[in-house]
Every structure is written in structure tokens, then in C-alpha cells.
Amino acid sequence: YLVYINGEFVPRSKAVVSVFDHGFLYGDGIFEGIRSYSGNVFCLKEHVKRLYESAKSILLTIPMTPEEMEQAIVETLQRNDLADAYIRVVVSRGPGDLGLDPRSCTRPNVIIIAEALALFPQELYEKGLRIVTVPTRRNIPDALNPKIKSLNYLNNVLIRMEATQSGVMEALTLNQEGYVCEGSGDNVFIVKNGKILTPPTYLGALEGITRNVVIELCEHLGISCKEEPFTRHDVYVADEIFLTGTAAEMIPVVEVDSRIIGDGKPGPVTKRLIEEFRKLTKVRGTKVPGLSPL
């Protein structure tokens, strides 16, 4: 695969940045995860918008326009002939002197990696995931706001490690008050009596683009979907649960902390939404011409 670094395409083995990059030294930077389905970059504009908003929030000037960024992402897919890919865009503060002050960092590094990726085994999309809740809390909005998709993902990494230690592949994190926030890299929805709830982002969650698409989809299908706080108990007694994220797409959850959810199989509301969501992934976004189908 060829990796985009500051306007150039270099082979994976040569895709390197300085050890003095403040992205490496301090986690000073931001990123996006984007997906292309059959040559359609799903919600490209929304992802680029969030990237620029994350950058603005941390006073990082991305040295290109959003349109140029979109074009660079499209070109990365074309150069690699990847119709179905996970795309990672990273903008780091760039190399500078040691010390937290970013003023010596004169040039951000803009990196785009595109690869074929499957986050969860295909069978789990049919059978559903087992997950747990973990001790690590989501960082709170008045500290490092979870709405900023920053390179400080250590607590998400810890959440994922705690999931692995419990023998499962994903986990839910709570905030200090005990309200459910999200997964390590995905948002959470519960279904109870035909109505859907997802935590408001102010509790401590990324405003997921997949999440927003699902909320919109519910509106379109006439299914009640509200942003409302809920606790672990509400999760345990939900009829259905599913997670949403660029990498995870939409995936049903059938067990949380050893509690079987519903009848232990993906439920009808989840299955219907997944079906509708899959249709959208092929049409909503930006078409990239000239890519070979899978």
C-alpha cells in the first residue's frame, strides 16, 4: 500500500515521521477514521468537517483546504485501487523542540493511510457481540472533550485492553456519575419497548457520524430514537443493544457483563436498521471513479 504523507505517496515501509513530532511525543494531533464501500466514501464530507473541527478546537491549522483534503483521500484510494477500505487520516502538530509548547512546530504532518480492514469477524454481525463494562472511565467533556478526535486515545486503548482481559472484543465505558457513555471506538444504542435510546454526547462520547446517520435513519423510518442518559441497569434489561462506528459499522450486542440481552439473538429493530444502514453505505457519500470491485 502507498501512504500519503504531506502530498507525496510513499510505500508503507518508508512511511515514517520524526520522533520529534509532537503527535508522537505528546499525542498532540487529531485523526479521523473513514470507510469506503464499493468505491463510495461513506459520509466523506462529514468526516472531513469533524477533522477540521477537531483541529480548530486544539488550535491546529491544517495546511490544506477541506476540499484538498477530500481530494487527497480520494486519490489515496485510487493510488491503492481500494474500493473497500478503512481510511485513517492523521494530522499531527509536527516536529518541534522538546517541551509542550507547540510554537516550535512549524509544519503539521498530514498522513492518510488506506487499508482493507475487518474489525470484527463476519459471523458476529449475525450472532451478536458479547461485551462488558469496564473500570476505565471516559474522559469528561470539560477536560479533554471526547468530541475532539485527538491522538490522546489512551483511555480508549485501556478500555479495549480491559475488554480483552475479560475475554470479549469490545466494552462499554461509563462516566464519573455512572451513566453509560460509549464503547472504546463506537457509540451505543439500546432498544426498549420499540423505542431507541443513545447517550447524549455531553455525558462523554464522540459525536459519531455513524451514530448520527442511525438517528436520522430512525427518524426516516418512524422509529422513536432519543438522546437520553441511561445506566448499566438499563443496558442489562434492554430488549436489544447495538454499537455503531465507522470501523464496526452497526453490530448487535447479545450479552453484557454476563447478562443475556433479550433472547440472546440480534433483535428485529437492530436487524432492520442494519439492513437499511447497509443500503445507505453504498449511496451516501462521495463516489470514487476507477476502482476495481472486490
Tell me the catalytic residues: 149
Name 3's Cβ contacts closer than 8 Å, sequence gap at least 6.
9, 10, 11, 12, 15, 76, 111, 112, 113
Among 94, 208, 262, 285, binds ligand PLP (CB under 6 A): 208
180: left (phi over 0), alpha (psi -120 to 50) or beta: beta
| Phi, psi at 272, each rounded to 5° | -65, -45
C-beta closer to ligand PLP: residue 85 or 209: 209
C-beta closer to ligand PLP: residue 29 or 245: 245
Task: Annotate each residue in 101-140 with x if it binds ligand PLP (CB under 6 A) or - if it does not, as one string.
Answer: ----------------------------------------
Q: Is 206 in the site for ligand PLP (CB under 6 A)?
A: yes
| Min CB(146)–ligand PLP separation in Å | 6
C-beta closer to ligand PLP: residue 186 or 240: 186
Distance CA 282, CA 294 (A): 14
Stretch that binds ligand PLP, among 77-85, 126-134, 204-212, 264-272 (CB under 6 A): 204-212
Among 40, 150, 201, 246, binds ligand PLP (CB under 6 A): 246
CB 254 within 8 A of CB 265: yes
Q: Is 210 in the site for ligand PLP (CB under 6 A)?
A: yes
Among 110, 151, 209, 291, binds ligand PLP (CB under 6 A): 209
Among 88, 93, 130, 211, binds ligand PLP (CB under 6 A): 211
Q: Is 186 in the site for ligand PLP (CB under 6 A)?
A: yes
C-beta closer to ligand PLP: residue 206 or 261: 206
C-beta closer to ligand PLP: residue 33 or 63: 33
Task: Annotate each residue in 213-242 with x if it binds ligand PLP (CB under 6 A) or - if it does not, as one string.
Answer: ------------------------------
CB 250 within 8 A of CB 274: yes
| Min CB(29)–ligand PLP separation in Å | 14
User: How many residues of this chain interact with ligand PLP, rule: CB under 6 A?
Assistant: 14
Task: Annotate each residue in 135-174 with x if it binds ligand PLP (CB under 6 A) or - if it does not, as one string.
Answer: ---------------------x------------------
Contact residues for ligand PLP, defined by CB under 6 A? 33, 156, 182, 185-187, 206, 208-211, 244-246
